[in-house]
Protein backbone atom coordinates (compact mmCIF):
# COMPACT_ATOMS: atom_id res chain seq x y z
CA UNK A 1 0.00 0.00 0.00
CA UNK A 2 1.23 3.48 -0.80
CA UNK A 3 0.98 6.31 1.69
CA UNK A 4 0.35 9.84 0.48
CA UNK A 5 1.05 12.54 3.06
CA UNK A 6 -1.01 15.58 2.20
CA UNK A 7 -0.71 19.29 1.66
CA UNK A 8 -3.85 21.38 1.16
CA UNK A 9 -3.30 24.79 -0.39
CA UNK A 10 -5.40 27.92 0.06
CA UNK A 11 -4.25 31.40 -0.92
CA UNK A 12 -0.71 30.03 -1.24
CA UNK A 13 -0.64 28.66 2.31
CA UNK A 14 -0.44 25.08 3.62
CA UNK A 15 -3.65 24.57 5.57
CA UNK A 16 -6.02 21.97 6.98
CA UNK A 17 -9.78 21.98 7.39
CA UNK A 18 -12.11 20.00 9.63
CA UNK A 19 -14.83 18.08 7.76
CA UNK A 20 -14.10 20.25 4.74
CA UNK A 21 -15.56 23.37 6.37
CA UNK A 22 -13.78 26.48 5.14
CA UNK A 23 -14.43 28.42 8.34
CA UNK A 24 -12.16 25.92 10.15
CA UNK A 25 -9.15 26.66 7.96
CA UNK A 26 -5.84 26.97 9.78
CA UNK A 27 -2.26 27.07 8.61
CA UNK A 28 -0.21 23.97 9.44
CA UNK A 29 3.13 24.60 7.71
CA UNK A 30 5.16 27.55 6.49
CA UNK A 31 6.41 26.25 3.17
CA UNK A 32 5.03 23.60 0.83
CA UNK A 33 8.38 22.60 -0.67
CA UNK A 34 10.06 22.21 2.70
CA UNK A 35 7.12 20.15 3.94
CA UNK A 36 7.24 17.95 0.85
CA UNK A 37 10.99 17.48 1.33
CA UNK A 38 10.30 16.27 4.87
CA UNK A 39 7.82 13.76 3.46
CA UNK A 40 10.46 12.50 1.04
CA UNK A 41 13.03 12.23 3.83
CA UNK A 42 10.55 10.08 5.77
CA UNK A 43 10.40 7.63 2.87
CA UNK A 44 7.36 8.88 0.97
CA UNK A 45 7.21 8.42 -2.79
CA UNK A 46 3.89 10.21 -3.30
CA UNK A 47 2.28 13.40 -2.05
CA UNK A 48 -1.42 14.24 -2.19
CA UNK A 49 -2.09 17.92 -2.86
CA UNK A 50 -5.42 19.72 -2.93
CA UNK A 51 -5.94 23.16 -4.40
CA UNK A 52 -8.77 24.36 -2.16
CA UNK A 53 -9.21 27.57 -4.14
CA UNK A 54 -9.72 25.48 -7.25
CA UNK A 55 -12.09 23.10 -5.50
CA UNK A 56 -14.28 25.90 -4.23
CA UNK A 57 -14.42 28.31 -7.13
CA UNK A 58 -12.36 26.89 -10.00
CA UNK A 59 -9.56 29.43 -9.56
CA UNK A 60 -6.21 27.64 -9.41
CA UNK A 61 -4.14 30.25 -7.60
CA UNK A 62 -1.62 27.70 -6.36
CA UNK A 63 -0.24 26.31 -9.63
CA UNK A 64 3.24 27.73 -9.10
CA UNK A 65 3.52 26.02 -5.72
CA UNK A 66 2.32 22.71 -7.15
CA UNK A 67 4.90 22.96 -9.93
CA UNK A 68 7.65 23.76 -7.43
CA UNK A 69 6.84 20.64 -5.42
CA UNK A 70 6.37 18.41 -8.47
CA UNK A 71 9.66 19.47 -10.02
CA UNK A 72 11.88 19.72 -6.94
CA UNK A 73 10.66 17.51 -4.07
CA UNK A 74 11.44 14.13 -5.60
CA UNK A 75 7.84 12.97 -5.05
CA UNK A 76 5.04 11.92 -7.36
CA UNK A 77 2.26 14.49 -7.02
CA UNK A 78 -1.41 13.55 -6.91
CA UNK A 79 -3.44 16.75 -7.29
CA UNK A 80 -7.11 17.55 -6.89
CA UNK A 81 -9.17 20.72 -6.88
CA UNK A 82 -10.98 22.51 -9.68
CA UNK A 83 -10.19 20.11 -12.52
CA UNK A 84 -13.09 20.47 -14.93
CA UNK A 85 -11.88 20.01 -18.50
CA UNK A 86 -9.32 18.31 -20.71
CA UNK A 87 -7.59 21.69 -20.98
CA UNK A 88 -7.30 21.79 -17.20
CA UNK A 89 -5.71 18.35 -17.26
CA UNK A 90 -3.18 19.38 -19.91
CA UNK A 91 -2.24 22.39 -17.81
CA UNK A 92 -1.92 20.33 -14.63
CA UNK A 93 0.17 17.61 -16.20
CA UNK A 94 2.44 20.30 -17.66
CA UNK A 95 3.27 21.27 -14.05
CA UNK A 96 4.75 17.82 -13.50
CA UNK A 97 1.76 16.26 -11.73
CA UNK A 98 1.68 12.46 -11.86
CA UNK A 99 -2.01 11.89 -11.17
CA UNK A 100 -4.97 14.24 -11.36
CA UNK A 101 -8.04 13.77 -9.18
CA UNK A 102 -11.34 14.76 -10.78
CA UNK A 103 -13.98 15.55 -8.17
CA UNK A 104 -17.12 17.60 -8.78
CA UNK A 105 -16.72 17.48 -12.55
CA UNK A 106 -17.08 13.69 -12.54
CA UNK A 107 -20.57 14.22 -11.09
CA UNK A 108 -21.62 17.08 -13.37
CA UNK A 109 -19.88 15.81 -16.51
CA UNK A 110 -19.30 12.03 -16.48
CA UNK A 111 -18.43 12.16 -20.17
CA UNK A 112 -15.39 14.27 -19.26
CA UNK A 113 -14.36 11.70 -16.64
CA UNK A 114 -14.69 8.93 -19.22
CA UNK A 115 -12.65 10.85 -21.79
CA UNK A 116 -9.97 11.61 -19.21
CA UNK A 117 -9.79 8.00 -18.05
CA UNK A 118 -9.51 6.76 -21.63
CA UNK A 119 -6.69 9.17 -22.47
CA UNK A 120 -4.69 9.11 -19.24
CA UNK A 121 -5.48 5.74 -17.63
CA UNK A 122 -4.16 5.41 -14.09
CA UNK A 123 -2.88 8.98 -14.20
CA UNK A 124 -6.52 9.91 -13.53
CA UNK A 125 -8.43 9.30 -10.31
CA UNK A 126 -11.97 10.24 -9.39
CA UNK A 127 -12.42 11.73 -5.95
CA UNK A 128 -15.61 10.58 -4.26
CA UNK A 129 -16.33 12.69 -1.19
CA UNK A 130 -19.26 11.47 0.89
CA UNK A 131 -21.22 12.63 3.89
CA UNK A 132 -23.72 10.12 5.28
CA UNK A 133 -23.13 8.04 2.16
CA UNK A 134 -24.08 10.80 -0.29
CA UNK A 135 -21.67 12.44 -2.71
CA UNK A 136 -20.78 16.07 -2.02
CA UNK A 137 -19.39 18.51 -4.59
CA UNK A 138 -18.07 22.09 -4.88
CA UNK A 139 -15.47 21.77 -2.16
CA UNK A 140 -17.87 19.50 -0.21
CA UNK A 141 -20.41 22.32 0.14
CA UNK A 142 -23.17 20.86 -2.08
CA UNK A 143 -25.13 17.62 -1.78
CA UNK A 144 -25.33 15.97 -5.21
CA UNK A 145 -28.07 13.57 -4.11
CA UNK A 146 -26.05 10.62 -5.42
CA UNK A 147 -25.30 7.48 -3.44
CA UNK A 148 -21.54 7.06 -3.05
CA UNK A 149 -21.36 3.35 -3.89
CA UNK A 150 -23.69 3.66 -6.87
CA UNK A 151 -21.63 6.56 -8.17
CA UNK A 152 -18.39 4.58 -7.72
CA UNK A 153 -19.89 1.74 -9.76
CA UNK A 154 -20.80 4.18 -12.52
CA UNK A 155 -17.25 5.50 -12.57
CA UNK A 156 -15.80 1.99 -12.77
CA UNK A 157 -18.16 1.27 -15.65
CA UNK A 158 -16.75 4.16 -17.70
CA UNK A 159 -13.16 3.05 -17.19
CA UNK A 160 -11.95 4.89 -14.08
CA UNK A 161 -9.13 2.87 -12.49
CA UNK A 162 -8.43 4.80 -9.26
CA UNK A 163 -10.87 6.21 -6.70
CA UNK A 164 -9.90 8.52 -3.85
CA UNK A 165 -12.66 8.02 -1.28
CA UNK A 166 -13.19 10.52 1.52
CA UNK A 167 -15.69 10.21 4.33
CA UNK A 168 -16.13 13.90 5.12
CA UNK A 169 -17.31 13.19 8.66
CA UNK A 170 -13.86 11.83 9.54
CA UNK A 171 -11.69 14.29 7.63
CA UNK A 172 -9.38 16.25 9.90
CA UNK A 173 -11.00 14.81 13.02
CA UNK A 174 -8.29 12.31 14.08
CA UNK A 175 -11.07 9.80 14.70
CA UNK A 176 -10.02 6.87 12.51
CA UNK A 177 -11.10 6.01 8.96
CA UNK A 178 -14.52 4.68 7.99
CA UNK A 179 -13.35 1.10 7.66
CA UNK A 180 -16.81 -0.37 6.97
CA UNK A 181 -17.49 2.07 4.13
CA UNK A 182 -14.06 1.46 2.63
CA UNK A 183 -14.54 -2.29 2.80
CA UNK A 184 -17.95 -2.02 1.14
CA UNK A 185 -16.48 0.17 -1.59
CA UNK A 186 -13.58 -2.19 -2.22
CA UNK A 187 -16.00 -5.10 -2.54
CA UNK A 188 -18.24 -3.14 -4.93
CA UNK A 189 -15.79 -1.93 -7.58
CA UNK A 190 -12.61 -3.24 -9.23
CA UNK A 191 -10.87 0.13 -8.93
CA UNK A 192 -7.79 0.85 -6.86
CA UNK A 193 -9.00 2.57 -3.68
CA UNK A 194 -7.16 5.37 -1.89
CA UNK A 195 -8.57 5.97 1.59
CA UNK A 196 -8.83 9.58 2.72
CA UNK A 197 -10.05 10.99 6.00
CA UNK A 198 -9.42 10.04 9.59
CA UNK A 199 -6.16 8.09 9.26
CA UNK A 200 -4.74 8.82 12.70
CA UNK A 201 -2.51 6.05 14.05
CA UNK A 202 -0.10 3.36 12.95
CA UNK A 203 -2.83 0.83 13.75
CA UNK A 204 -5.10 2.57 11.21
CA UNK A 205 -2.40 2.28 8.56
CA UNK A 206 -1.86 -1.41 9.29
CA UNK A 207 -5.58 -2.16 9.12
CA UNK A 208 -5.98 -0.38 5.79
CA UNK A 209 -2.92 -2.21 4.48
CA UNK A 210 -4.32 -5.55 5.61
CA UNK A 211 -7.63 -4.74 3.88
CA UNK A 212 -5.70 -4.72 0.62
CA UNK A 213 -6.32 -1.09 -0.27
CA UNK A 214 -4.10 0.56 -2.86
CA UNK A 215 -3.33 3.67 -0.83
CA UNK A 216 -4.09 5.93 2.12
CA UNK A 217 -3.76 9.67 2.61
CA UNK A 218 -2.29 11.07 5.81
CA UNK A 219 -3.19 14.66 6.55
CA UNK A 220 -3.81 16.14 9.96
CA UNK A 221 -2.26 13.12 11.73
CA UNK A 222 1.15 14.11 10.38
CA UNK A 223 0.86 17.74 11.46
CA UNK A 224 -0.62 16.82 14.85
CA UNK A 225 2.12 14.26 15.47
CA UNK A 226 -0.19 11.29 16.07
CA UNK A 227 1.57 9.14 13.50
CA UNK A 228 5.25 8.44 12.89
CA UNK A 229 5.55 8.81 9.13
CA UNK A 230 8.83 6.86 8.66
CA UNK A 231 7.42 3.95 10.67
CA UNK A 232 4.14 4.08 8.75
CA UNK A 233 6.09 3.96 5.49
CA UNK A 234 7.93 0.86 6.70
CA UNK A 235 4.65 -0.85 7.60
CA UNK A 236 3.28 -0.17 4.14
CA UNK A 237 6.23 -1.99 2.58
CA UNK A 238 5.43 -5.16 4.53
CA UNK A 239 3.63 -7.57 2.26
pLDDT score recorded for residue 61: 84
What pairing do the DSSP bridges indicate for beta strands 13-18 and 124-131?
Answer: unpaired
- For the structural domain made of 2-236, what CATH number should be given? 3.20.20.70
pLDDT score recorded for residue 141: 79
pLDDT score recorded for residue 239: 44
Give the 3-state secondary structure of residue 160. coil
Catalytic residue among 8, 53, 167, 204: 8
Q: How far apart are CA 187 and CA 173, in angstroms?
A: 26
Average pLDDT, consecutive stretches of 10 residues, N- to C-terminus, the chain (239 residues)? 95 78 76 95 96 78 94 97 95 97 95 98 97 88 93 98 94 87 97 96 97 96 94 82
pLDDT score recorded for residue 238: 60
Query: What burial class does residue 30 get, using C-beta atoms within 10 Å of its C-beta: 0-12 exposed, 13-18 middle, 19+ buried?
Result: exposed
Q: What is the largest CA-CA distance in the chain?
A: 42
Of the candidates 124, 60, 61, which has an alpha carbon nearest to the alpha carbon of residue 97?
Answer: 124
Catalytic residue among 51, 53, 129, 204: 129
Note whether 140 and 131 are within 8 A (CB): yes
pTM of this structure: 0.93
Known catalytic residue at 129 = yes
Amino acid sequence: MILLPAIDLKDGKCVRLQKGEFDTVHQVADNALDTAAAFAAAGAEWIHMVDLDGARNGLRRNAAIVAQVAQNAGLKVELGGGIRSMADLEEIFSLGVERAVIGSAAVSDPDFAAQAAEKYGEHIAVGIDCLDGRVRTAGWEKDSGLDGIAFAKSMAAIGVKVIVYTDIATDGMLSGPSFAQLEHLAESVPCRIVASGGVTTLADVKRLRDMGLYGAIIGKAYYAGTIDLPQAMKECNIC
